[in-house]
Amino acid sequence: MDLSEIGEECYIPLLVSLLHVTDNLKKEEMPNLIDTNDFEYFEPIPGLRAKVVHTADQTYAFWEIDAGTILPSHQHFHAQVSIVTKGTIALTIDGVTTEMQKGMVALIPPNTVHSAKAITDVELTDVFTPVREDFPNYQTGNA
């Protein structure tokens, strides 16, 4: 879909939001390129580990999930976008379960109950807005 297929009411607020995020980044505090190869893994439960990057307004979690790992039902005030880049995961959002595979994206609104079970080994990226203060900040050494 290109921008001409949606109304200005949809994409102009998105562009304004992106500009706001960019304007709020302090260049001396936020590098343009981040190498996560030396980051420690954040492992909140066995079989679920991530490397985490924070910006001024968002948190990115690059998850590796072992087959069979269950993420219990939970909710949080953050909006969440989950992007599957490898494997198959059964994601339940508000009581509806969908098997997600590489290339699929889930949009999880704030305060929505969700859970998951890795069917195979999975890699996925979560984007949270606002910042997940409860996730470690390894890129600056503040775990």
Whether the CB-CB separation of 121 and 66 falls below 8 Å is answered with yes
57-69 confidence digits (pLDDT tens): 999 999 999 999 9
**What is the pTM (predicted TM-score) of this model?**
0.76
Please give the average per-residue pLDDT across 1-21, as a whole number: 45
Q: Say if strands 114-118 and 122-129 run parallel, antiparallel, or are unpaired.
A: unpaired
At which residue do the structure tokens 């001396």 appear?
Answer: 28
- Looking at every residue in the chain, the average pLDDT score rounds to 83
Angstrom distance (rounded) from CA 117 to CA 103:
17
- The token pair that represents 120 in the structure block: 């195979």
Whether the CB-CB separation of 138 and 51 falls below 8 Å is answered with yes
38-57 confidence digits (pLDDT tens): 888 999 999 999 999 998 89
